[in-house]
Amino acid sequence: MMKFKIFYTCTLFLFPLFFSATSIPFEYIDGKIIVKVDIKNQKHNFIFDTGAFTILSDELKGQLSEKKENMIFEGIDANNSSSKNEMFSTDALKIADIKFNKVNFSFMNINWMASRACMKISGVFGANMMNSKVWRIDFRTKTITISDKITENSAQSISIPFTEENFTHVPTINVNIRKQNLDMVFDTGSGSGFTLDSKSYQLVKDGSFLTFEGLLSQSLNSVSKGERWLDVMEAEVNNNILGNQIVDTSSDSRNLVGTRFMENYLIDLDFINKKIVLNTTDKTSEYNSFGIAFAPVDGTLVIVNKLKIPELSGLNVADKIIKVNNIDVSKIDEETFCKIKKIMDNSKIMIIENESKKEFKLEKKDILQYLN
């Protein structure tokens, strides 16, 4: 997610060719929506991210017939780390049958995104590419339908107006949580529910919450470490009660609404009328987890995040894991890590062994039960 300070006056020209409706599939990995973008007849994986400006892998330099723009900006990522980036434009990006002309973007090293997704990621499809269209996200069918048709509300839908950041078009909505009015970025690049910065979370915090410790998040330029708190709170948008929603905190520089919330609805992102429409489904909020998260560190598999509950008291952040379901992970490469990640995604029971050869049987549960 990027926040921009523009140092030269500029105008963004984005002229997509309008079609009545185009439907594309997406993959849903770790709360991230992955779409195929065509670059000169080659398919590339992009993260569909309403909370960001368009970013392309620096490995694509020279392959886009890109033009360097006479501007520079300071980008501030989700962990409040800043970097200065050159701006470029290109006519080489397509999605399905829709061609985008003069898309402004920046090149960056985004190799870490590929390691997290276990697939090659070539860029971030940012909010500036979504302007002047309606994007319907269907998490059940894993499709996005793109059109220039104005969204019609049904009796079961909830309409939320949004404001846009200048230049980036990143949408922000107002949410009421425990009598606090909070501006929040509607961010398809965030895999959480409602994520609040520490100051905002202190305004709504009560005495009952869950605590995670360890590595909290990784973004374009930084990582954050520490504790993260999670609770369930009633949320309200545009005078509509949404009921209890998952609310957590991290060191993110802005308050976010993420895909763990969005996946409970059929979402219409209407960049024509500047509104978000939530079409209700029968899905409810849940947070299924083993309570721990792994990452490869210096060729070993390490616990980088842990829920602080008695059932996991025998495990600690930074513990090295040598076996997962009888698979030797004492020396781990990218391929083995992706195999372990697949086990965690698809299994309900996982048996791990730490460096002390102590074995733990973990069960995937909806951790919200620990709040009852």
Structure confidence by residue, pLDDT tens digits, 158-208 = 999 999 998 899 999 999 999 999 999 999 999 999 999 989 999 999 999
Name the amino acid, one letter, at 308.
Answer: K
Residue 149's pLDDT band (cuts 50, 70, 90)? confident
Average the pLDDT over 15-36 and give the result: 82
Q: How far is CA 287 from CA 195, 261, 312, in A?
A: 14, 10, 17
- Residue whose token pair is 């899905």: 283
**Phi, psi torsion values for 337, nearest 5 degrees:** -60, -40
- Pick from 10-19, 70-79, 321-330: least confident: 10-19
Q: How far is CA 70 from CA 57, 73, 205, 304, in A?
A: 20, 11, 46, 41
Q: Does residue 153 have a pLDDT over 90?
A: no
The residues near 280 (Cβ < 8 Å, ≥ 6 apart) are 156, 157, 158, 265, 266
SS3 label, residue 336: helix
The more confidently predicted of residues 8 and 310 is 310
Of 198, 81, 94, 224, the closest CA to residue 146 belongs to: 94
Distance CA 151, CA 279 (A): 11
CATH number for 4-8+16-147: choose from 3.40.50.300, 2.40.70.10, 2.60.40.10, 3.90.980.10. Answer: 2.40.70.10
Distance CA 90, CA 106 (A): 10
Average the pLDDT over 328-349 and give the result: 93
SS3 label, residue 345: helix
Average the pLDDT over 317-337 and give the result: 94
Strand partners of residue 360: 352
Distance CA 120, CA 310 (A): 38
Residue 84's pLDDT band (cuts 50, 70, 90)? confident
Tokens of 27: 């993959």
First to last CA, the chain: 34
Q: How many other C-beta atoms are found inside a 10 Å radius of the C-beta of residue 332? A: 25
Q: How far is CA 68 from CA 85, 119, 354, in A?
A: 11, 29, 51
CA dihedral 65, 71, 72, 78 (to 10 degrees): -80
Fold agreement (4-8+16-147, 288-365):
no
Tokens of 236: 């309200």
Which pLDDT belongs to residue 229?
Answer: 93
Distance CA 43, CA 37 (A): 6
Tokens of 305: 């995040």
Residue 261's pLDDT band (cuts 50, 70, 90)? very high
Tokens of 150: 């104005």
Domain coordinates of the chain in residue numbers?
4-8+16-147, 157-280, 288-365
Q: Are 26 and 146 in contact (CB under 8 A)?
A: no
Q: Does residue 231 have a pLDDT over 90?
A: yes
Structure confidence by residue, pLDDT tens digits, 289-323 = 999 999 888 899 999 999 999 999 999 998 999 99
What pTM does this model have? 0.88
Tokens of 142: 């894993």
Reply yes or no on domain 288-365 having CATH 1.10.287.1080: no
Residue 43's pLDDT band (cuts 50, 70, 90)? very high
CATH number for 157-280: choose from 2.60.120.10, 3.40.50.970, 3.20.20.140, 2.40.70.10. Answer: 2.40.70.10
The residues near 323 (Cβ < 8 Å, ≥ 6 apart) are 329, 330, 351, 352, 353
